[in-house]
Amino acid sequence: MELLLILFAVLLVGVALSKVLKAKELIDGLKGVDEEPISNSEIKTNALGLLIFGFVFFALLIAQIVGWDKFLLPSAASVHGAEIDTLMEVTMILILSVFFITQGLLFWFGFKYYFKPGVKGFWFPHDNRLEMAWTIVPATVLILLVTYGMSTWDNIMNPKNEPDLNIEFVSEQFKWTARYAGVDQTLGEASFALYGSNAVGVATKDAMIKRIGECQLSIKGFVADSVRLEKLIEEGWNKDDKLDDVESSLKNYRANIVRLNRMLDHYAKFPAKYDAGKDDIVINNNVVKIPKGKTIKFQFRSKDVIHSAYFPHFRAQINSVPGMKTEFTFTPKETNAEFNEKAIKEGKVYLKTVRDEDKNIISQVETPGSTGFILLCNKICGASHYNMKVYIEVVEEKEYDKWIASQKTFE
Binding site for Cu ion (CB under 5 A): 377, 381, 385, 388
Rounded-to-integer distance, Cα 126 and Cα 265, Å: 75
Alpha-carbon Rg for the chain, nearest whole angstrom, is 32
Rounded-to-integer distance, Cα 229 and Cα 218, Å: 16
| Closest distance of CB 337 from Cu ion, Å | 29
Q: Which is nearer to Cu ion, 276 or 388 (CB)?
A: 388
| Residue 329 vs residues 172, 281, 289, 391: alpha-carbon distances, Å | 21, 19, 16, 18
Q: Which is nearer to Cu ion, 196 or 382 (CB)?
A: 382
| Closest distance of CB 168 from Cu ion, Å | 18
Residue among 306, 218, 305, 307 nearest 260 (CA): 218
Q: Which is nearer to Cu ion, 343 or 388 (CB)?
A: 388
Instruction: State the Cα angle at 179 between 178 and 183, rounded to 5°.
Output: 145
Q: Which is nearer to Cu ion, 165 or 377 (CB)?
A: 377
Q: Which is nearer to Cu ion, 219 or 318 (CB)?
A: 318
Half-sphere CA count of 215, side-chain side, radius 13 A = 23
Backbone angles phi, psi at 399, to 5 degrees: -65, -40
| Closest distance of CB 283 from Cu ion, Å | 20
Backbone angles phi, psi at 13, to 5 degrees: -60, -45
Q: Which is nearer to Cu ion, 172 or 189 (CB)?
A: 172
| Closest distance of CB 384 from Cu ion, Å | 8
| Closest distance of CB 306 from Cu ion, Å | 9
| Closest distance of CB 311 from Cu ion, Å | 14
Burial 15-34, CB ≥16 within 10 A → b, else e: eeeeeeeeeeeeeeeeeeee
Q: Which is nearer to Cu ion, 304 or 411 (CB)?
A: 304
Backbone angles phi, psi at 332, to 5 degrees: -70, 135
Q: Which is nearer to Cu ion, 90 or 306 (CB)?
A: 306
Q: Which is nearer to Cu ion, 274 or 311 (CB)?
A: 311
Rounded-to-integer distance, Cα 296 and Cα 290, Å: 8
Q: Are 224 and 249 in contact (CB under 8 A)?
A: no
Rounded-to-integer distance, Cα 180 and Cα 356, Å: 38
| Closest distance of CB 376 from Cu ion, Å | 8
| Closest distance of CB 382 from Cu ion, Å | 7
| Closest distance of CB 388 from Cu ion, Å | 5
Three-state SS at 373 = strand
Give the H/E segment covering residue 311: strand 307-311
